[in-house]
Protein backbone atom coordinates (compact mmCIF):
# COMPACT_ATOMS: atom_id res chain seq x y z
CA UNK A 1 0.00 0.00 0.00
CA UNK A 2 2.55 2.69 0.94
CA UNK A 3 2.23 5.43 -1.69
CA UNK A 4 4.89 7.73 -2.98
CA UNK A 5 7.46 4.97 -3.51
CA UNK A 6 9.61 5.89 -6.49
CA UNK A 7 10.15 3.43 -9.30
CA UNK A 8 12.33 0.68 -7.89
CA UNK A 9 13.72 -0.65 -11.16
CA UNK A 10 14.53 -0.01 -14.81
CA UNK A 11 13.03 -2.27 -17.48
CA UNK A 12 14.51 -3.15 -20.85
CA UNK A 13 12.00 -4.96 -23.07
CA UNK A 14 13.06 -7.18 -25.98
CA UNK A 15 11.05 -9.45 -28.27
CA UNK A 16 11.33 -12.51 -26.03
CA UNK A 17 12.91 -11.34 -22.78
CA UNK A 18 12.67 -8.57 -20.22
CA UNK A 19 15.75 -7.30 -18.36
CA UNK A 20 15.04 -5.82 -14.95
CA UNK A 21 17.69 -3.73 -13.18
CA UNK A 22 16.93 -2.72 -9.62
CA UNK A 23 17.43 0.85 -8.41
CA UNK A 24 16.94 -0.19 -4.80
CA UNK A 25 17.22 -3.57 -3.19
CA UNK A 26 17.22 -3.01 0.55
CA UNK A 27 14.19 -5.32 0.91
CA UNK A 28 15.95 -8.00 -1.10
CA UNK A 29 13.67 -7.28 -4.05
CA UNK A 30 15.90 -9.04 -6.59
CA UNK A 31 16.20 -12.20 -4.50
CA UNK A 32 12.47 -12.26 -3.75
CA UNK A 33 11.66 -11.96 -7.44
CA UNK A 34 14.17 -14.58 -8.55
CA UNK A 35 12.95 -17.07 -5.93
CA UNK A 36 9.29 -16.56 -6.86
CA UNK A 37 9.95 -16.90 -10.60
CA UNK A 38 11.81 -20.17 -10.07
CA UNK A 39 9.14 -21.66 -7.80
CA UNK A 40 6.37 -20.64 -10.19
CA UNK A 41 8.23 -21.90 -13.27
CA UNK A 42 8.16 -25.37 -11.70
CA UNK A 43 4.75 -25.40 -10.04
CA UNK A 44 2.68 -22.92 -12.09
CA UNK A 45 4.39 -22.51 -15.48
CA UNK A 46 2.99 -19.69 -17.59
CA UNK A 47 1.47 -17.79 -14.71
CA UNK A 48 4.54 -15.56 -14.30
CA UNK A 49 7.58 -14.82 -16.46
CA UNK A 50 10.01 -17.71 -16.71
CA UNK A 51 13.43 -17.07 -15.13
CA UNK A 52 16.24 -16.84 -17.69
CA UNK A 53 19.30 -15.67 -15.76
CA UNK A 54 20.23 -13.35 -12.91
CA UNK A 55 23.13 -11.42 -11.44
CA UNK A 56 21.95 -11.17 -7.85
CA UNK A 57 25.23 -9.87 -6.48
CA UNK A 58 25.73 -7.19 -9.12
CA UNK A 59 25.42 -3.46 -8.58
CA UNK A 60 22.73 -3.04 -9.61
CA UNK A 61 21.31 -6.56 -9.35
CA UNK A 62 19.73 -7.81 -12.56
CA UNK A 63 17.06 -10.40 -13.35
CA UNK A 64 16.33 -11.55 -16.88
CA UNK A 65 12.97 -13.21 -17.51
CA UNK A 66 10.73 -14.18 -20.39
CA UNK A 67 8.36 -11.64 -21.87
CA UNK A 68 4.69 -12.43 -21.40
CA UNK A 69 1.83 -11.34 -23.67
CA UNK A 70 -0.99 -9.20 -22.41
CA UNK A 71 -2.17 -5.73 -21.41
CA UNK A 72 -2.28 -4.52 -17.79
CA UNK A 73 -5.74 -4.77 -16.26
CA UNK A 74 -5.31 -1.31 -14.75
CA UNK A 75 -7.47 1.00 -16.84
CA UNK A 76 -8.96 -1.81 -18.94
CA UNK A 77 -12.68 -2.55 -19.07
CA UNK A 78 -13.03 -5.66 -16.90
CA UNK A 79 -16.08 -7.72 -17.72
CA UNK A 80 -16.97 -11.17 -16.42
CA UNK A 81 -14.37 -12.87 -18.64
CA UNK A 82 -11.49 -10.81 -17.24
CA UNK A 83 -12.73 -11.18 -13.66
CA UNK A 84 -12.96 -14.98 -14.01
CA UNK A 85 -9.45 -15.09 -15.48
CA UNK A 86 -8.08 -12.98 -12.63
CA UNK A 87 -9.74 -15.26 -10.07
CA UNK A 88 -8.26 -18.29 -11.81
CA UNK A 89 -4.78 -16.73 -11.79
CA UNK A 90 -5.00 -15.87 -8.08
CA UNK A 91 -6.22 -19.36 -7.23
CA UNK A 92 -3.38 -20.89 -9.24
CA UNK A 93 -0.87 -18.64 -7.49
CA UNK A 94 -2.15 -19.42 -4.01
CA UNK A 95 -1.94 -23.14 -4.65
CA UNK A 96 1.57 -22.96 -6.12
CA UNK A 97 3.41 -24.13 -3.00
CA UNK A 98 2.87 -27.90 -2.71
CA UNK A 99 0.90 -28.74 0.41
CA UNK A 100 -0.35 -25.19 0.94
CA UNK A 101 -4.09 -25.80 0.67
CA UNK A 102 -5.65 -22.48 1.75
CA UNK A 103 -8.83 -24.23 2.87
CA UNK A 104 -7.10 -26.74 5.15
CA UNK A 105 -5.63 -25.14 8.28
CA UNK A 106 -3.77 -28.34 9.16
CA UNK A 107 -1.74 -28.53 5.94
CA UNK A 108 1.03 -26.02 6.49
CA UNK A 109 4.42 -25.85 4.69
CA UNK A 110 7.40 -26.55 6.96
CA UNK A 111 8.19 -23.04 8.23
CA UNK A 112 11.36 -22.38 10.17
CA UNK A 113 10.35 -21.73 13.79
CA UNK A 114 12.85 -18.87 14.02
CA UNK A 115 12.77 -17.14 10.65
CA UNK A 116 9.37 -17.96 9.21
CA UNK A 117 11.09 -18.84 5.93
CA UNK A 118 10.33 -21.94 3.92
CA UNK A 119 12.68 -23.87 1.67
CA UNK A 120 10.92 -24.96 -1.50
CA UNK A 121 12.61 -28.36 -1.86
CA UNK A 122 12.17 -28.91 -5.59
CA UNK A 123 13.92 -25.65 -6.52
CA UNK A 124 16.14 -25.06 -3.49
CA UNK A 125 14.91 -21.45 -3.24
CA UNK A 126 14.03 -19.88 0.10
CA UNK A 127 10.72 -18.05 0.26
CA UNK A 128 10.72 -15.31 2.88
CA UNK A 129 7.64 -13.66 4.40
CA UNK A 130 6.21 -11.08 2.00
CA UNK A 131 7.46 -7.52 2.36
CA UNK A 132 3.93 -6.13 2.85
CA UNK A 133 1.85 -8.11 5.34
CA UNK A 134 -1.05 -7.75 7.80
CA UNK A 135 0.94 -6.63 10.85
CA UNK A 136 2.70 -3.97 8.79
CA UNK A 137 -0.63 -2.83 7.35
CA UNK A 138 -2.29 -2.48 10.76
CA UNK A 139 0.66 -0.46 12.07
CA UNK A 140 0.83 1.66 8.92
CA UNK A 141 -2.86 2.60 8.88
CA UNK A 142 -2.86 3.36 12.60
CA UNK A 143 0.15 5.63 12.10
CA UNK A 144 -1.59 7.45 9.27
CA UNK A 145 -4.73 7.92 11.33
CA UNK A 146 -2.80 9.18 14.38
CA UNK A 147 -1.31 11.93 12.21
CA UNK A 148 -4.84 13.30 11.50
CA UNK A 149 -4.17 13.94 7.81
CA UNK A 150 -5.96 16.78 6.05
CA UNK A 151 -8.88 15.25 4.15
CA UNK A 152 -10.26 18.55 2.94
CA UNK A 153 -13.89 19.57 3.39
CA UNK A 154 -15.58 16.41 2.09
CA UNK A 155 -18.39 15.35 4.49
CA UNK A 156 -18.08 11.76 3.32
CA UNK A 157 -14.34 11.69 3.96
CA UNK A 158 -14.80 13.20 7.42
CA UNK A 159 -17.44 10.61 8.33
CA UNK A 160 -15.28 7.79 6.99
CA UNK A 161 -12.36 9.07 9.05
CA UNK A 162 -14.46 9.22 12.22
CA UNK A 163 -15.88 5.71 11.83
CA UNK A 164 -12.60 4.31 10.57
CA UNK A 165 -10.48 5.59 13.43
CA UNK A 166 -13.02 4.28 15.96
CA UNK A 167 -12.76 0.86 14.35
CA UNK A 168 -8.95 1.05 14.32
CA UNK A 169 -8.92 1.48 18.09
CA UNK A 170 -10.76 -1.79 18.69
CA UNK A 171 -8.37 -4.23 20.45
CA UNK A 172 -9.72 -7.08 18.30
CA UNK A 173 -7.78 -5.59 15.38
CA UNK A 174 -4.55 -6.63 17.12
CA UNK A 175 -5.49 -10.26 16.55
CA UNK A 176 -6.24 -9.86 12.84
CA UNK A 177 -2.64 -10.49 11.66
CA UNK A 178 -2.63 -13.94 13.29
CA UNK A 179 -3.40 -16.21 10.37
CA UNK A 180 -5.10 -19.54 11.19
CA UNK A 181 -4.64 -20.72 7.60
CA UNK A 182 -1.51 -21.94 5.80
CA UNK A 183 0.64 -19.31 4.11
CA UNK A 184 0.52 -18.97 0.34
CA UNK A 185 2.92 -17.50 -2.17
CA UNK A 186 1.73 -13.92 -2.51
CA UNK A 187 2.51 -10.82 -4.56
CA UNK A 188 2.20 -8.32 -1.69
CA UNK A 189 1.00 -5.83 -4.31
CA UNK A 190 -2.57 -5.48 -5.54
CA UNK A 191 -1.80 -2.96 -8.27
CA UNK A 192 -3.85 -4.06 -11.29
CA UNK A 193 -0.97 -2.95 -13.53
CA UNK A 194 0.79 -6.15 -12.45
CA UNK A 195 -1.92 -8.39 -13.90
CA UNK A 196 -1.77 -8.84 -17.67
CA UNK A 197 -4.87 -9.78 -19.64
CA UNK A 198 -4.12 -11.93 -22.70
CA UNK A 199 -7.21 -11.95 -24.96
CA UNK A 200 -5.77 -14.68 -27.20
CA UNK A 201 -5.75 -17.22 -24.38
CA UNK A 202 -8.30 -15.57 -22.03
CA UNK A 203 -5.70 -15.83 -19.28
CA UNK A 204 -4.20 -13.41 -16.77
CA UNK A 205 -0.43 -13.45 -16.20
CA UNK A 206 1.25 -11.83 -13.20
CA UNK A 207 4.43 -9.72 -13.23
CA UNK A 208 6.58 -7.77 -10.72
CA UNK A 209 7.43 -10.13 -7.87
CA UNK A 210 9.88 -7.92 -5.99
CA UNK A 211 7.83 -7.80 -2.75
CA UNK A 212 6.59 -11.37 -2.96
CA UNK A 213 6.91 -14.11 -0.40
CA UNK A 214 4.95 -16.20 2.06
CA UNK A 215 1.67 -14.42 2.62
CA UNK A 216 -1.78 -14.46 4.17
CA UNK A 217 -4.26 -15.36 1.44
CA UNK A 218 -7.07 -13.24 2.91
CA UNK A 219 -4.80 -10.21 3.04
CA UNK A 220 -3.57 -10.81 -0.51
CA UNK A 221 -7.13 -10.96 -1.85
CA UNK A 222 -8.11 -7.82 0.02
CA UNK A 223 -5.03 -6.08 -1.39
CA UNK A 224 -6.20 -6.82 -4.94
CA UNK A 225 -9.81 -5.88 -4.14
CA UNK A 226 -8.95 -2.55 -2.52
CA UNK A 227 -5.80 -1.33 -4.25
CA UNK A 228 -6.26 2.27 -5.36
CA UNK A 229 -5.62 1.21 -8.97
CA UNK A 230 -9.36 0.40 -9.08
CA UNK A 231 -10.00 4.10 -9.78
CA UNK A 232 -8.52 3.64 -13.26
CA UNK A 233 -11.01 0.99 -14.28
CA UNK A 234 -14.17 -0.83 -13.34
CA UNK A 235 -13.02 -4.03 -11.63
CA UNK A 236 -15.93 -5.55 -9.70
CA UNK A 237 -14.11 -6.63 -6.54
CA UNK A 238 -17.17 -8.33 -5.08
CA UNK A 239 -17.59 -10.42 -8.22
CA UNK A 240 -13.91 -11.34 -8.11
CA UNK A 241 -14.19 -12.61 -4.54
CA UNK A 242 -17.39 -14.49 -5.40
CA UNK A 243 -15.38 -16.56 -7.89
CA UNK A 244 -12.99 -17.72 -5.16
CA UNK A 245 -13.50 -20.70 -2.89
CA UNK A 246 -13.32 -18.99 0.49
CA UNK A 247 -14.10 -20.72 3.76
CA UNK A 248 -16.46 -18.61 5.91
CA UNK A 249 -13.72 -17.75 8.40
CA UNK A 250 -11.38 -16.70 5.61
CA UNK A 251 -14.09 -14.65 3.90
CA UNK A 252 -14.61 -12.81 7.19
CA UNK A 253 -10.89 -12.02 7.34
CA UNK A 254 -10.96 -10.71 3.75
CA UNK A 255 -13.81 -8.40 4.80
CA UNK A 256 -11.80 -7.01 7.72
CA UNK A 257 -8.67 -6.53 5.60
CA UNK A 258 -10.71 -4.70 2.98
CA UNK A 259 -11.84 -2.26 5.67
CA UNK A 260 -8.26 -1.74 6.76
CA UNK A 261 -6.78 -1.22 3.31
CA UNK A 262 -9.61 0.98 2.04
CA UNK A 263 -9.16 3.22 5.08
CA UNK A 264 -5.40 3.34 4.54
CA UNK A 265 -5.85 4.61 0.99
CA UNK A 266 -8.39 7.20 2.15
CA UNK A 267 -5.88 8.58 4.65
CA UNK A 268 -3.39 9.19 1.83
CA UNK A 269 -5.85 10.97 -0.48
CA UNK A 270 -6.30 14.38 1.15
CA UNK A 271 -5.39 17.58 -0.75
CA UNK A 272 -1.69 17.11 0.02
CA UNK A 273 -1.72 13.35 0.48
CA UNK A 274 1.00 11.13 -1.02
CA UNK A 275 -1.51 9.22 -3.18
CA UNK A 276 -3.43 12.25 -4.46
CA UNK A 277 -1.30 13.36 -7.39
CA UNK A 278 -1.50 9.95 -9.09
CA UNK A 279 -5.30 9.71 -9.04
CA UNK A 280 -8.08 11.57 -10.86
CA UNK A 281 -10.30 14.25 -9.30
CA UNK A 282 -13.10 12.80 -7.20
CA UNK A 283 -11.01 9.88 -5.95
CA UNK A 284 -11.25 11.01 -2.31
CA UNK A 285 -15.06 10.93 -2.29
CA UNK A 286 -15.16 7.63 -4.13
CA UNK A 287 -12.71 6.16 -1.65
CA UNK A 288 -14.76 7.45 1.28
CA UNK A 289 -17.71 5.48 -0.08
CA UNK A 290 -15.55 2.33 -0.22
CA UNK A 291 -14.52 2.88 3.40
CA UNK A 292 -18.08 3.50 4.60
CA UNK A 293 -19.59 0.48 2.85
CA UNK A 294 -17.83 -2.21 4.91
CA UNK A 295 -17.85 -0.11 8.10
CA UNK A 296 -21.61 0.30 7.85
CA UNK A 297 -22.14 -3.42 7.17
Is residue 19 one of the residues assigned to a domain? no
3 state DSSP class of 198: strand
**pLDDT > 70 fraction of the chain, expressed in percent and rounded:** 89
Confidence class of residue 273 from pLDDT cuts 50, 70 and 90? Answer: confident
Confidence class of residue 111 from pLDDT cuts 50, 70 and 90? Answer: very low
With beta carbons less than 8 A apart as the criterion, state whether 196 and 204 touch: yes
Is residue 283 one of the residues assigned to a domain? yes
Confidence class of residue 35 from pLDDT cuts 50, 70 and 90? Answer: very high
Distance between CA atoms of residues 59 and 23, nearest Å:
9
Distance between CA atoms of residues 20 and 130, nearest Å:
20
pLDDT tens for 64-95 read 999 999 999 999 999 999 999 999 999 999 99
Distance between CA atoms of residues 21 and 199, nearest Å:
29
Cis peptide, bond prior to residue 9, ω within 30 of zero = no
3 state DSSP class of 199: coil
- Report, as an integer, the average pLDDT of 100-121: 49
Confidence class of residue 119 from pLDDT cuts 50, 70 and 90? Answer: low
pLDDT, position 109 = 45
**pTM metric for this prediction:** 0.91
With beta carbons less than 8 A apart as the criterion, state whether 54 and 45 touch: no
Phi, psi of 188 (to 5 degrees): 60, 30
Is residue 3 one of the residues assigned to a domain? no
Is residue 268 one of the residues assigned to a domain? yes
Is residue 45 one of the residues assigned to a domain? no
How many structural domains does the chain have? 1
Q: In CATH, what number is assigned to the domain containing residue 195?
A: 3.90.1200
Is residue 56 one of the residues assigned to a domain? no
Q: Which residues pair with residue 66 across a beta bridge? A: 17
HSE-up of residue 247 (Cα within 13 Å, Cβ side): 12
Question: Which runs of consecutive H residues, i.e. helices, occur in the chain?
Answer: 29-43, 80-94, 134-146, 155-168, 217-226, 237-242, 248-266, 283-296
Domain that holds residue 76: 68-296
Is residue 37 one of the residues assigned to a domain? no
Distance between CA atoms of residues 219 and 166, nearest Å:
21
Is residue 89 one of the residues assigned to a domain? yes
Distance between CA atoms of residues 281 and 275, nearest Å:
12
Distance between CA atoms of residues 171 and 160, nearest Å:
19
Amino acid sequence: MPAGRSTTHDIEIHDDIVIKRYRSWERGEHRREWAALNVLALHAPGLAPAPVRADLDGSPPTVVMSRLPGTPLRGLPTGPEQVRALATALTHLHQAIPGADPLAPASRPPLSPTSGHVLEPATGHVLKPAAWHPAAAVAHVRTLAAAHPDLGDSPGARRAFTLGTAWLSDPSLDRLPVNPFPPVLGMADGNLANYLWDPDTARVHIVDWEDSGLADRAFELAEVAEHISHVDGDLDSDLLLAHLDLAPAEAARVHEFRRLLALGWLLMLGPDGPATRRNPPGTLDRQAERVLAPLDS
